[in-house]
Structure 1
Amino acid sequence: MRTAYQYKLRPNKDQVATIELWLELLRRQYSYRLGEGFSWWSENRCPVNASPFIIPIPQLRDNPDYYSQKKDLVNTKDKFPEYKLIHSQVLQDCIKRVKLAFDRWFKANKNLKIGSES
């Protein structure tokens, strides 16, 4: 027989304010990191056509992957001190969720040509 326990949070006003602040900061972090991935993708994609013209290819920007975004969390905490209130594992989990969302979108886009200019 499996036993499941349910716990109910009953935070006081200070704890509610802290939780809401953390959620807002995590929402901003998620949106920024996801936007960083999409802007990289839109800047570095190029349709492949047969063309008689020789066109130089610009230098590609580094892909903001999982590890580079995790490494950048140190800079985020330096620039925005309010992020120091959030535990590092929580911020790293936010980056992990961004990676999973971007990978799912990229896989669907690759297979179904969603959002492409074809």
Structure 2
Amino acid sequence: MLNLTYSYRIYPGLDQEAKMLGWLEQCRRVYNYALAERKDWINSRKCLVNACSIRQEYIIPADTPYPDYYKQQNALTKAKKLIRELKAVHSQVLHELEATG
């Protein structure tokens, strides 16, 4: 049997583990925010304007464009300038999160 991949086990120190967990938390937040943004936009378009329930539906202006990959990437770049915690994670890692979502 030919093994094409190999998994390496790492044994990080306490400071390295804390840093990696911080990265994981930021990645989780970015992914969940992007997914929620797309789902909210879709849910706001599911019912007629005169028949929507305020309790169950999200009200987003009708002229708001769909938050596609490119719009979210541009917003993420702007957010990295404002949010200090996002600067700790490499930019390509954050951009790949939205590509998989």
State the TM-score, normalized to the length of structure 2.
0.76
Contact 1:44 1:61 in 2 (8 A): no
- The 3-state SS of whatever aligns with 1:83 is helix
* d(CA) in 1 for partners of 2:7, 2:69: 33
AA at the equivalent of 1:73: L
* Deviations 1:1-55, CA, capped at 9 Å, x for gaps: 63453311111111100000011111111111111011111112335xxxxxxxx
Q: Aligned pair 1:18/2:19, yes or no? A: yes
Corresponding residue for 1:83? 86
1:102-117 equivalent positions in 2, closer than 5 A:
none
- State the 4+ residue runs in structure 1 displaced beyond 4 angstroms: none
2:74 to 71, 79, 86: 71
Q: Can you give the 5+ residue segments of structure 1 that lack an aligned partner in the other structure?
A: 48-57, 99-118
Q: Compare relative contact order (CA 8 Å, sep 6+) and give the higher one, 1 or 2.
A: 2
**Which protein has the larger Cα radius of gyration, Structure 1 or Structure 2?**
1
The alpha carbon displacement at 1:89 in A equals 1.0
Pairs aligned (count):
88
Contact 1:44 1:60 in 2 (8 A): no
* d(CA) in 2 for partners of 1:92, 1:40: 20
- The 3-state SS of whatever aligns with 1:72 is helix
Corresponding residue for 1:55? none
Q: Can you give the 5+ residue segments of structure 2 that lack an aligned partner in the other structure?
A: 49-60
Q: Percent identity?
A: 38
